[in-house]
Amino acid sequence: MPSIRNIAVGLPVRDGHVLVLDGNDSVKGLAFHRAIGGGIEFGETAEEALRREFVEELGVALGRVELLEVVENIFTYEGTPGHEIAHVFAVESAEIDAIPLDARLHVLDQGSPIRWVPIRETPDPFFPHGVAELLHARL
């Protein structure tokens, strides 16, 4: 039986842009943006998972983090159903702030593309669900 996945994701915001992973669902033909982060491991707090994920995925340490909201995300990706409980954090990091707005990066442990995208101007949706509203509220 499928299970619900608990995740922690962060939203680094600078100059009206957010640093996100670019994704594509080939079954739906949908390009999207996804907040950076990943699964919470047993015995780990959401904040600890968030900090670990940013080191694993970008090689950066986070400074101040603030829990914005916990959202439920029920979705289908590449034809497979998924269900997540996402702890969404605002994050600050001097290392992330040093990344140029035109930089094209890749997740260190899987190669997925990461880049700054303008929050107000992108036609692609943000996931997990509810992230776009949180971003617009922070502008």
Q: How many CB atoms lie within 10 A of CB 116?
A: 22
C-alpha 57/C-alpha 114 separation (Å) is: 10
pLDDT for res 138:
76
How far from each other are the two terminal CA atoms of the chain, in whole angstroms? 40
> Which CATH code, of 3.50.50.60, 3.90.1150.150, 3.90.79.10, 3.90.420.10, is assigned to 5-138?
3.90.79.10
Domain ranges of the chain: 5-138
pTM of the entire predicted model: 0.92
Mean pLDDT in order along the chain per 10 residues (139 residues): 91 95 94 95 98 95 97 94 96 96 87 91 88 84
